[in-house]
Amino acid sequence: MLLSTVTLLSVALASAQQLSSNLTQITDFGPNPRNVSMYIYVPANLPPNPPILVSPHWCHGTAQQVFEGRPWASLGDQYGFISIYPNTSNLADQCWDVSSKESLTHDGGGDALGIVSMVRWALKEYGADKDRLFVTGTSSGAMMTNVLIGSYPDVFAAGSAWAGVPFGCFAGNGYDVWSDACATGKIIKNGTEWAALVKNAYPGYTGFRPKFQTLHGTVDNVLNPQNLKEQIKQWTSVFGISQVPTEVTKDTPLPGWTRSRYGEQFEAYEAAGVDHNIPNQVDVVMDFFDLKCSGSKCFSRRSGNVTGMLLECIDHLVV
Ligand SMILES: *[C@@H]1O[C@H](CO)[C@@H](O)[C@H](O)[C@H]1NC(C)=O
Ligand SMILES: *[C@@H]1O[C@H](CO)[C@@H](O)[C@H](O)[C@H]1NC(C)=O
Ligand SMILES: *[C@@H]1O[C@H](CO)[C@@H](O)[C@H](O)[C@H]1NC(C)=O
Ligand SMILES: *[C@@H]1O[C@H](CO)[C@@H](O)[C@H](O)[C@H]1NC(C)=O
Ligand SMILES: *[C@@H]1O[C@H](CO)[C@@H](O)[C@H](O)[C@H]1NC(C)=O
């Protein structure tokens, strides 16, 4: 009964969205040592140089569920971006590999490399904008967001993590480690230690770092809210900015949610009374990624890079 209601609901949702095309599976998209499957939604009227949004699923979740449960495809129709839905090959619990040395290393392998190969493939295939590649997910998808932003700072422009854990918090022996210590909030490090994990993922990298947004419920009993505090230490330290917020806004976007901003590069939301089932706030993601924007002034790795902007200006002056 419940199942058929859910099925009917998702059919209703899919048809209500009136999508301009279908979810398509792509094979042979590049290095993919863990056999992650790739699904992509490409709007029928794709503008030139479109952005790409990647949305990895939660544990026990699938690409199909994210496609149906999040409005990225219909928003892609509306605003002109591609969305990619990776599907894990780990049938034990359908959680992402956020533990292996491979995933936690730039171009090192693991699920992370499979997902990045999808992005690199789509970038070429559709002439997408290499400076507007984004990743967002919930739970295991949020952990993978932390991993991708940490291991591939050269690829993404920004990430948005909903109820996840810091980069490297689940690190362990193998591809499908469940870290009880991390999940229960017992892995505590200082900012320098957390940042070292990220920096060691891509030693010697000094380029642009994707900006980052993280959100967590205060009564999350699957991934302890301590993990929000640890992510704050980690990412402020990666960016080399203070752990003291530059701006705190209460009751945004919902009553009881508090947003702390740490300059332009990082923000953290604490959602009072919210458990692990944190309700996704689509506009929070869309606005942070500036995905409603078209034209030359949208947020991107270019606009986020002052040196790059200056060079571009000089370029235009010369040409
Ligand atoms: C999606 O695929 C189905 C089955 O192949 C097809 O009937 C339908 O027209 C497609 N919808 C769109 C919007 O492309
Ligand atoms: C990869 O996964 C697909 C299912 O998504 C399966 O059909 C295929 O056999 C797998 N290949 C390998 C080498 O495991
Ligand atoms: C993803 O993998 C799951 C588990 O094997 C499967 O049920 C689902 O059909 C696959 N495809 C999509 C698009 O979710
Ligand atoms: C962080 O911890 C390390 C020990 O692992 C210590 O050497 C360092 O001083 C600590 N940094 C801060 C800012 O507390
Ligand atoms: C900024 O952009 C320039 C030109 O595109 C590039 O060479 C440089 O590496 C970028 N700097 C950072 C910190 O990303």
Rounded to an integer, what distance in angstroms lies between the CA atom of residue 81 and that of residue 132? 10
At 295 the pLDDT is: 86
At 84 the pLDDT is: 98
CATH number at residue 23: 3.40.50.1820
| Owner of token pair 């050269």 | 154
At 305 the pLDDT is: 66
At 234 the pLDDT is: 98
Q: Are 121 and 29 in contact (CB under 8 A)?
A: yes
Of 202, 25, 31, which is closest to residue 114 (Cα–Cα)? Answer: 31
Q: Are 235 and 214 in contact (CB under 8 A)?
A: yes
Residue 139 annotated to the active site: yes
Number of domains in the chain: 1
Residues 6+ apart with CB under 8 A from 104: 98, 110, 112, 147, 150, 151, 167, 168, 171, 197, 201
Ligand 1 pocket, mutate which of 17, 20, 22, 24 (most atoms under 8 A from CB): 22
Of 230, 220, 224, which is closest to residue 279 (Cα–Cα)? Answer: 220
3-state SS assignment for residue 270: strand
At 58 the pLDDT is: 98
Residue 184, classified by CB atoms within 10 Å of its CB into exposed (0-12), middle (13-18) or buried (19+), is middle
Among positive and negative, which fits the CA dihedral 38, 42, 48, 49?
Answer: negative
pLDDT, block means (10 residues), the chain with 319 residues? 42 63 97 98 97 98 98 98 97 97 98 98 98 98 98 98 98 96 98 98 97 98 98 98 98 98 97 98 98 93 71 63
Rounded to an integer, what distance in angstroms lies between the CA atom of residue 212 and that of residue 209? 9
Q: Can you name the residues that pair with 137 across neighbouring β-strands?
A: 161
Residue 208 Cα to ligand 4 midpoint, Å, equals: 25
At 271 the pLDDT is: 98
Rounded to an integer, what distance in angstroms lies between the CA atom of residue 261 and that of residue 215? 12
DSSP H/E element including 136: strand 133-138
DSSP 56: P
DSSP H/E element including 248: strand 247-249
What domain range includes position 130?
3-318
At 1 the pLDDT is: 34
At 9 the pLDDT is: 44
Within a 13 Å sphere around the CA of 290, how many CA atoms are in the beta-carbon half? 19
At 18 the pLDDT is: 86
Distances (CA, A) of 316 to 225, 237, 307, 313: 47, 35, 14, 5
Residue 191 Cα to ligand 4 midpoint, Å, equals: 8
Which ligand 3 atom is the nearest neighbour of the CA of 23? 13
Task: For the beta carbon of residue 8, count every other beta carbon within 10 angstroms.
Answer: 10
Ligand 4 pocket, mutate which of 193, 194, 200 (most atoms under 8 A from CB): 193
The catalytic position among 74, 99, 117, 139 is 139
Of 110, 109, 1, 126, which is closest to residue 53 (Cα–Cα)? Answer: 126
